[in-house]
Amino acid sequence: MNLNGVQEKILEILKESFTLTEVPKDNYSEAKYPKLLPVMRFHVRRFEVKDHGHLFIMHTESKIGMELITVSLAAGSGKNVPYVLIDMMSMKNKDTVMVEYYDCTNGKTDTAAFEAVREKYRSLGNYQEDGAWYVKERAPYALIKRGDSDTMVQMVYDSIAAYAKTAAAADSDPANRERLTAFRERMINEGNPASEITEKLFGKDGAKEFFRSCVFRV
């Protein structure tokens, strides 16, 4: 899966509906593991999304042939849209894309655009996961796929466009922010797919701060 230009295309789609302001680089912008002879390097970009929330994008490169783009978009404004977490992983001939939605709006999300994208890509093969707690919390229109690389990249673009369209028409509920924050704490305390590597990078307490202030800022 060719991930060149994917970040910029995602930003281009979002900028059609949102005003994005990039957060200046800091000590979270670049990381490597292990520090002495790094096998993996992490490049982080963050954006404030006006009247909406916070966007996190991370590009991971490794010497073992794996490349990953992670996108996290949380509506800290309380808008009636789900939290979205996207992982696009290219590893030799095993490309996997996960577009995860977690609805913290108490069922107030308009799901039509998300369901349309799910239907469009129904024929792509599903990626089989283990029974982690958060799998049961996902919205039914999540896309957990392994298949044709070019098609899956387009699936991500369509998913981002569906999110932007839904957010533009959505109203807000202050209680959504509280539910979103509560879900974030579960992701930190009960574990998430990035828990292990994040703790190796920043230590246990540092990983919690990284997750709260960068990955899933509310």
Domain tally for the chain?
A: 1
Amino acid 65: pLDDT = 87
CB 14 within 8 Å of CB 160: yes
Rounded to the nearest integer, the mean pLDDT of the chain is 95
Whether a cis peptide bond, with omega within 30° of 0, leads into 34 is yes
Rg of the Cα atoms in the chain = 16
Amino acid 200: pLDDT = 85
What CATH code is carried by the domain that includes residue 44?
3.40.1500.20
pLDDT at residue 17 greater than cutoff 80: yes
How many angstroms separate the CA atoms of 172 and 126, rounded? 33
CB 171 within 8 Å of CB 158: no
Alpha helices in 110-214 (DSSP H): 112-120, 149-169, 174-189, 195-210
* Domain contains 1: no
Amino acid 170: pLDDT = 97
Angle at 216 between CA 127 and CA 76, to 5 degrees: 115
CB 46 within 8 Å of CB 23: yes
Residue-wise pLDDT tens digits, 185-218 = 999 999 998 898 899 889 999 999 999 999 999 9
How many angstroms separate the CA atoms of 135 and 119, rounded? 20
* Domain contains 170: yes
Residue-wise pLDDT tens digits, 115-156 = 999 999 999 999 988 789 999 999 999 999 998 899 999 999
Domain ranges, residue 30: 6-215
Give me the mean pLDDT over the 14-27 stretch: 97
